[in-house]
Amino acid sequence: TVHYGATHAAVAEAGGDAIGVDWRTPLDEAWGVIGPGRAIQGNLDPACILAGEEAARAGTRDVLRRAGRRPGHIFNLGHGLHPDSDPEVIGAVVDEVRRWNPPGENR
């Protein structure tokens, strides 16, 4: 079960194995409300991708830093991709995630 929403305390109380966190809540703050023992999915602001490669890379590093290498973090956008998203910038985001957690390394 995956839940999404900005009301993290209520969502955490409702249960579920994973909680989706949108871009409006810093990941470390959401994890503090949701607590340990659940996967958290999120939460790059999709506007970072529209702002270009440097903004996308910086936003990605911020999300990963806030996740703190906790087990159960599923990197994702905090919402969907905009149709005008540049595939090169999306590739840069994937590159940053791989630098943080190289393929084959299980965290």
Confidence at residue 20, expressed as pLDDT on a 0 to 100 scale: 87
In this structure, is residue 24 part of a structural domain? yes
The model's pTM is 0.82
Residues 6+ apart with CB under 8 A from 10: none
Q: Is the dihedral of CA 9, 13, 14, 17 positive or negative?
A: positive
Confidence at residue 3, expressed as pLDDT on a 0 to 100 scale: 47
Weakly modelled stretches of the chain, pLDDT under 70: 1-12, 14, 102-107
Count of domains forming the chain: 1
In this structure, is residue 72 part of a structural domain? yes
The range of the structural domain enclosing residue 29 comes to 2-41+62-100
Confidence at residue 19, expressed as pLDDT on a 0 to 100 scale: 87
